Structure 1
Amino acid sequence: MMRAMSSAVAGLKAHQDAIDVVGNNIANVNTHSFKSGSVSFRDVMYQNIVSAAGGDPDTGLAGTNPSQIGYGAATASVGVDTSNGGKDQTGRPNDCYIDGQGYFVVADGGQDGTNNYPVGMKYTRVGSLQFDSQGYLTDGNGNYVLGVNNDAGEDGAIPTVTTAMDGKLATDGSLKTDQGDMVPPEYIHYSTEDNTLSNVSFGSDGTITATSGGEVVTLGKVALAHFSNAAGLEDIGSSYYKDTTNSGAAEFYVPGSGATGNLVTGSLENSNVDLATEFSNMILYERGYQANTKIISVADEMLQTLVNMK
């Protein structure tokens, strides 16, 4: 009876975790770029009542299988569905949808004291981009968006550095594309002097153009990060992620190279939550929770019967 009660309590905890995940999914059904979670269960420890035994031809006894009683279930993992959500067509030219598996790279403005590289990088798929009053490309939360600047005086071509295609981290802190082009992550900044930017637009390859002083200028390119195991990223809230040892290090590309995908302007990514699936799971987990509470009630009644014996 005590085993039954312990198993049921473990089952309650596991199903509560599952309901919590469903609740979070449903709450974020309209959150841009939200990735739905799913729960898997595992059984826990067992007690052997009868151990397995092989047959004995001398005695004529046949072999016996082990007899075991388990101690319930537990949450094995909470997985993340990293597939793309649909397009939310906002009509705003600064909104960018990633048609692939890439992530925008943002930072809070800090720099490494040795190499002046951005520090505190995090990743998001919410492409609500804009230039601030200082000429820096930022996201909707005020974080700086990283990419490749177009150096002043160039003809509009994005500067790249080529290297041997060994896939290793370069000495300048950048990573190559499949074609060998290096994309150094840096803060995208444009000095407008006395002119203001207007008609800012983003190309499918991440190229940023705008009108300044009556002329069309190329400002740079947005960089995208790719991870060998995107499901291994850690969600840190506000639609941001940070890399982990299991996600692999970020590989930086320009849009359209690697597996990052192209940019689609005028749209943001919808949540990939499927409400039909979530409501179905909610009913399933609720029934599982109720069944475990019934086991506790029955075990309690059996214990009460023993207590009342005279």
Structure 2
Amino acid sequence: MIRSLFSGVSSVKSHQVRMDTVANNIANVNTYGFKSSRTTFQDNLNQLLRSGGASVNAAQVGTGTTLSAIGNNMGNGPQQMTGRTLDLAINGQGFFKVQQASPDGGGSVADNSSILYTREGSFYLDKEGYLVNANGYYLLDESNSPQSVGSDLTQIASISIDKNGKITVINNDDSTVEIQLTLAVFNNPEGLERKGSNLFSQTIASGEDMNTGTLPSEMGSEINSGYLEMSNVDLSEEFTNMITTQRGYQAGSRIITVSDTLLEELINLKR
């Protein structure tokens, strides 16, 4: 009965974590570039009651469940048309590389800021002509330098971006500026660490960025200008997970209640 109490507690705790994950997925169903999470369990240590032999199987009793992993689903989300040139969606593998700008701006990055990665492709031009995201992070090129279309924005006539990530800026005097976008790729993108604001950082599990200048088309990807990648959360799947998680939580709570009743009956035998 004591074992069953702890098994029930482990079930309740594990299902609570799964419900937290499901709730976060549903909350971000309309977050651009969001990647859903999935919680998996594994059985806990099994206690040996009787050793096995040549013709007798071992007798073991489980001690509940434990959290196995909370994995990231890095599958592509649907793309929504916006018609805005600097809205970019990646079709295929890869991440945009961004880095926090320093308070002084001017293309310099903040002290001790590391390169981060994102699938959210909503970019803007700051007052100095650098491409930045909604949080003011610079979009980096293949040499990890902030990308700029020029300091005099009043001279820009048009900006276009092709599927290979080449940005072409045409000025009023017919001069052009070309910038090549690059994407970061990882052996294990699911190993990236979430940093909030749709940003990820590399870890030992993810490995380092393997792209040393390969263009998006050369790695089977393309960049769609005028589109944004939506969240890859599947609401029907999440609601199903919510129901099964709720039932699992209720069952774990019931284990605790029934085990307590049995323990109470045992104590009452002494009276």
What is the TM-score with the length of structure 1 in the denominator?
Answer: 0.80
Q: Which residue of 2 aligns with 1:177?
A: none
The counterpart of 1:264, out of the listed 202, 214, 224, is 224
| Structure 1 CA distance for aligned equivalents of residues 100 and 232 of structure 2 | 27
| Structure 1 CA distance for aligned equivalents of residues 149 and 250 of structure 2 | 60
8 Å Cα contact 1:124/1:240 also seen in 2: yes
User: Structure 1 stretches of 5 or more lacking a match?
Assistant: 55-62, 111-115, 148-182
What is the TM-score with the length of structure 2 in the denominator?
Answer: 0.91
Q: Which residue of 2 aligns with 1:122?
A: 116
| Structure 2 CA distance for aligned equivalents of residues 218 and 234 of structure 1 | 35
Q: Letter of the aligned partner of 1:289 in structure 2?
A: Y
Task: Please give the secondary structure, in 2, of the residue aligned with 1:244.
Answer: coil
1:104 aligns with 2:64: no
1:229 aligns with 2:188: yes
8 Å Cα contact 1:209/1:216 also seen in 2: no
From the CA coordinates, give the structure whose radius of gyration is larger: 1
More helix by share: 2
| Structure 1 CA distance for aligned equivalents of residues 153 and 76 of structure 2 | 41
8 Å Cα contact 1:117/1:185 also seen in 2: no
1:88 aligns with 2:47: no
- Root-mean-square deviation (CA), in Å? 1.9
1:22 aligns with 2:57: no
C-alpha deviation, 1:93, in angstroms: 1.4
Task: Please give the secondary structure, in 2, of the residue aligned with 1:53.
Answer: coil
8 Å Cα contact 1:117/1:186 also seen in 2: no
Q: Which residue of 1 aligns with 2:238?
A: 278
Q: Letter of the aligned partner of 1:276 in structure 2?
A: S
C-alpha deviation, 1:219, in angstroms: 3.2
Over residues 124-178 of structure 1, what are the superposed CA-to-partner deviations in whole Å (9 max), with x where a residue is unaligned?
011112221112111222110011xxxxxxxxxxxxxxxxxxxxxxxxxxxxxxx
User: Structure 2 stretches of 5 or more lacking a match?
Assistant: 103-107
Task: Please give the secondary structure, in 1, of the residue aligned with 2:117.
Answer: strand
8 Å Cα contact 2:128/2:152 also seen in 1: no
1:215 aligns with 2:174: yes
1:255 aligns with 2:216: yes
Q: Which residue of 2 aligns with 1:50?
A: 50
| Structure 1 CA distance for aligned equivalents of residues 134 and 181 of structure 2 | 15
Q: Letter of the aligned partner of 1:14 in structure 2?
A: S
Q: Letter of the aligned partner of 1:49 in structure 2?
A: L
C-alpha deviation, 1:117, in angstroms: 9.7
| Structure 2 CA distance for aligned equivalents of residues 125 and 244 of structure 1 | 17
Q: Letter of the aligned partner of 2:235 in structure 1?
A: L
C-alpha deviation, 1:221, in angstroms: 1.2
Runs of 4+ aligned residues of structure 1 deviating over 6 Å after TM superposition are none
C-alpha deviation, 1:203, in angstroms: 1.3
Q: Which residue of 1 aligns with 2:105?
A: none
